Structure 1
Amino acid sequence: MSNPNVETVTSTADRIKLGLAIAAFVAGLVGFYALAGSPTIARIGAIVAGVVVALVIGWFSEPGRRLVAFGQDSAQETRKVVWPSRKETIQTTVAVFAFVVVMALFLWVTDKTIEWVLYDLILGWK
């Protein structure tokens, strides 16, 4: 279900801005390959210039502003996370490893039991 209060329609101007941003990024990539004989710094400069121009153009579009706001909100949420202590992390890791070992042993015993029933008892191959 979509929220009716959130405007999701992109205007024509915003679409043009996003198209120009994509074109600037692609131009940076094309510049990188077009400058194959040039020094590496010039090739990297072409990519960086294309990315910077694309970001600047994208910043002035509504979807670009929403993306930045989303990134800021995400950063705020990560500050709210209560991270486990070192002791809790070690305890959880040990529990996971113990479970993996127990499950591996269970699957091995199950496999050998099925193999014994199938090949020894039913088919008599061993």
Structure 2
Amino acid sequence: MASSQIETVSTGVDKAKLALSVVLLVAALSGFYLLAKQGPLVQWGVLGAGVVLAVGMFLVSEVGRRFIGFCRDSTREVKKVVWPTRKETTQMTAYVFGFVVLMALFLWMTDKTLEWVFYDLILGWRK
């Protein structure tokens, strides 16, 4: 099911909601540090309440509603993914390890061959 893309113009109210959510988040962080003498329970309570209010204000804005729609669409797409079985995963992992071992052997043999050609045959350093 394809959702139609409709661009909406951001209104002043939506901009105010986003600004208010940022202000609430900053106020929550400021309150957390300013209320250090009140104890950790008050600090974390102010921080938690401020973050909840900021997220709530964000989610009721147009940007927040689009974000919720994006999350729903993403969840729907992830449910369509066909994940490999345990057997397929094990086989592919074995193939990868086997290929890595073969490449390591090939590169080691190439290195040793070039070392023998250059140092023994051409330069004569090893006798």
TM-score after normalising by structure 2: 0.76
Q: Which has the larger radius of gyration?
A: 2
**Change in CA separation of 1:56 and 1:105 when aligned onto 2, cut-off 3 Å:** same
CA drift at 1:37? 3.9
What amino acid is aligned across from residue 68 of structure 1 in structure 2? I
Aligned Cα root-mean-square deviation (Å): 2.4
Q: Where do 5+ consecutive residues of structure 2 fail to align?
A: none
CA drift at 1:19? 1.8
What amino acid is aligned across from residue 93 of structure 1 in structure 2? T
For residues 58 and 113 of structure 1, the distance between their equivalents in structure 2, rounded to whole angstroms, comes to 65
CA drift at 1:68? 0.4
TM-score after normalising by structure 1: 0.77
Identity across the alignment (%):
54
For residues 124 and 54 of structure 2, the distance between their equivalents in structure 1, rounded to whole angstroms, comes to 71
Aligned residue-pair number: 122
For residues 12 and 119 of structure 2, the distance between their equivalents in structure 1, rounded to whole angstroms, comes to 71
1:105 is matched with: 105
Q: State the secondary structure of the residue aligned to 2:51.
A: helix
Q: Where do 5+ consecutive residues of structure 1 fail to align?
A: none
CA drift at 1:107? 2.6
| Most deviating of 56-65 and 34-43 | 34-43
What amino acid is aligned across from residue 102 of structure 2 in structure 1? V
